[in-house]
Amino acid sequence: MFFLFLATLPMTINTNVVFPIQLPRQVEHWSRPDSAQTITAQTIFDYMDGAGELYLGFRFDSLQVVEYTAEGSYNLLVEIYYMQESDDAFGLLSLDLDGERIDWGAAPEASSPSALYGAGLLRLWAGPVYARVMAFQETETARRAVLELGRVIAAQCRSARPPKLIQMVQPLFTNAPLKYFRSHLVLNSIFYLASQNILDLDLSVEGVYAHEGQMKVLLLHYPEARRAAAAAQFFLQSYLPDHQSARCGGFYPLESGYCACFHAGVYLILLFDCPDIDSGRQWVQTIECRLRTGDRL
Amino acid sequence: MNDRLITRRDFARTSLAAAAGASLTSAATLRAKPRSSRVVIVREEAVLDTAHKVNKAILQKMLDQTVMAVTGGNAAADGWKAIAAVKDKVGLVPTPHLNPTHPELIELVASSLQNQAGLPAERIVNAQGRNLEIVKSCTVLIALPALKAHWLTGIGTVLKNYIMFSGNPQAYHDSRNVKLGEIWKLPEVEGKTKLVLVDALYPLCDKGPQPDPRYKWHYNGLIAGTDPVAVETVCLNIITKKRELIKGEPWPLTPPPLCVEAADKLYGLGTSSMDEISLERIGWRKELLV
- Give the residue ranges of DSSP H helices in chain A: 44-48, 52-56, 86-94, 140-155, 164-169, 184-190, 225-239, 277-293
Beta strands in chain B (DSSP E): 38-43, 90-94, 124-126, 140-144, 146-150, 154-155, 193-204, 221-225, 278-283
Per the CB < 8 A criterion, the answer to whether A58 and A94 are in contact is no
Q: Which of A285-289, B10-14, B19-23 has the highest mean pLDDT?
A: A285-289
Chain-centroid distance, C-alpha A281: 28
Domain boundary among A103, A128, A155: A155
What pLDDT, in 10s, does the model give residues A108-151?
666 778 999 999 999 999 999 999 999 999 999 999 999 999 99
Report the percent of chain B where pLDDT is more than 90.
80
Per the DSSP assignment, residues forming a β-bridge with B149 are B155
DSSP string, B192-208: -EEEEEEEEEEEE-SS-
Of B98, B150, B213, the CB nearest to A120: B213
Highest-confidence range of A72-81, B15-24, B32-41, by mean pLDDT?
A72-81
Q: How far is CA A168 from CA A104, A288, B221, in A?
A: 26, 10, 48
Tell me the pLDDT tens digit for each residue of A165-208. 999 999 999 888 899 999 999 999 999 999 999 999 999 999 99
Domain count, chain A: 2
Q: Is A258 helix (H, G, I), strand (E, B) or coil?
A: strand
Optimal mutation site among B2, B6, B7, interface A, most CBs of chain A within 10 A: B7
Task: Tell whether A185 is within 8 A of chain B (Cβ).
Answer: yes
Residue A18, pLDDT score: 57
| Calpha distance B164→B93 (Å, rounded) | 10
A179 and chain B in contact, CB less than 8 A: no
Q: Do A169 and A242 reside in the same domain of the chain?
A: yes
pLDDT in tens, chain A (297 residues): 333 334 444 344 434 455 789 999 999 999 999 999 999 999 998 898 888 999 999 999 999 999 999 998 999 999 999 999 999 999 999 999 999 999 877 666 667 789 999 999 999 999 999 999 999 999 999 999 999 999 999 999 988 999 999 999 999 998 888 999 999 999 999 999 999 999 999 999 999 999 999 999 999 999 999 999 999 999 999 999 999 899 999 999 998 999 999 999 999 999 999 999 999 999 999 999 999 887 666
Instruction: Note whether A131 and A220 are within 8 A (CB).
Output: no
Whether A50 and B6 lie within 8 Å, measured CB to CB:
no
Together in a domain, A16 and A151: yes
Phi, psi of B23 (to 5 degrees): -115, 140
Domain of A223 in residue numbering reads as: 164-293
Q: Could you tell me the end-to-end alpha-carbon distance of chain B, in angstroms, rounded to an integer?
A: 32
What tens digit of pLDDT does each residue of B104-148 get? 999 999 999 999 999 999 999 999 999 999 999 999 999 999 999
CA distance A30 to A142: 9
CA angle B281, B44, B126 (to 5 degrees): 90
Burial of B211 (0-12, 13-18, 19+ CB in 10 A): buried
**Is A122 within a domain?**
yes
CB contact under 8 A, A195 and B174: yes
Q: Which of A49, A134, A193 has the CB atom closest to B8's CB atom?
A: A193
Chain B residues lying within 8 Å of A51, measured CB to CB: 98, 151-152, 208-210
Which chain A positions have a beta carbon within 8 Å of B209's beta carbon? Answer: 48-51
Out of A51, A99, A138, whose CB is closest to B210?
A51
Indicate if A145 and A276 belong to the same structural domain: no
Is the per-residue pLDDT at B157 higher than 60? yes
Q: How far A120 CA lies from chain B's nearest CA (Å)?
A: 7
Of B9, B51, B97, the CB nearest to A137: B51
DSSP string spanning A205-255?
A: -EEEEEEETTEEEEEEE-SSHHHHHHHHHHHHHHH-TT-TT--TT-EEEET
Predicted local distance difference test score (pLDDT) of residue B28: 44
Answer yes or no: is A88 within a domain.
Answer: yes
Cα-atom radius of gyration of chain A, to the nearest Å? 21
Q: What spatial distance separates the first Cα and last Cα of chain A, rounded to whole Å?
A: 50
Q: What are phi and psi of A39, to 5 degrees?
A: -115, 135
Suggest the residue from B2, B155, B175 to mutate for an interface test with chain A (most A CBs closer than 10 A): B175
B24 falls in which pLDDT band (50, 70, 90)?
A: very low
* Residue A80 and residue A153 in contact, taking contact as beta carbons nearer than 8 Å: yes
Considering the domain architecture, whether residues A23 and A148 belong to the same structural domain is answered as: yes
Put simply, the answer to whether B256 touches A134 (Cβ < 8 Å) is no
Mean pLDDT for the stretch of residues B235-260: 95
Q: Is residue A169 part of a domain?
A: yes
Enter the ipTM: 0.87
Say yes or no: A173 and A130 in one domain: no
Query: Do A16 and A133 have their domain in common?
Result: yes
Asked if the structure places residue A238 within a domain, the reply is: yes
From residue A90, alpha-carbon distances to A86, A106, A159 in Å are 6, 17, 12
A119 — contact with chain B (CB < 8 Å)? yes
Contact B169 A50 (CB under 8 A): yes
Residue A196 lies in a domain: yes
Residue B256, preceding peptide bond in cis (omega within 30° of 0): no
B4 pLDDT tier (thresholds 50, 70, 90) = confident
- Separation in Å, CA A151 to CA A22, A28, A148: 12, 14, 5
Out of A125, A155, A185, pick the residue that ends a domain.
A155
User: Which of the listed residues A126, A155, A184 is the one where a domain comes to its end?
Assistant: A155
Report CB contact under 8 Å: A51, B98: yes
Q: Are residues A78 and A185 in the same domain?
A: no
Distance CA A263, CA A268 (A): 5
Q: What pLDDT, on a 0 to 100 scale, did the predictor assign at position B170?
A: 85
Chain A CB contacts of B8 under 8 Å are 191-194, 272
Q: What structural domains and CATH numbers belong to chain B? A: 38-283 (3.40.50)
| Residue A184 counted as domain residue | yes
CA of A257 to nearest chain B CA: how many angstroms apart?
11
Cβ–Cβ below 8 Å for A194 and B8: yes
* A171 & A203 share domain: yes
Three-class secondary structure of residue A130 per DSSP:
strand
**Residue A211 shares a structural domain with residue A119:** no
How many DSSP H helices and E strands does chain A contain?
A: 8, 17
Confidence band (pLDDT; 50, 70, 90) for B12? Answer: confident
Domain presence at residue A1: no
Pairwise CB contact (< 8 Å): B209 & A49: yes
Residues A94 and A231 in one domain: no
**Pair (A78, A113) in one structural domain:** yes
Interface of A with B in 49-108 (CB under 8 A): 49-51, 53-54, 74, 96, 98-99
In a domain, A94, yes or no: yes
Shared-domain flag, residues A73 and A185: no
**Angle between the N-to-C axes of helices B103-115 and B56-71, in degrees from 0 to 180, rounded to the nearest 10:** 60
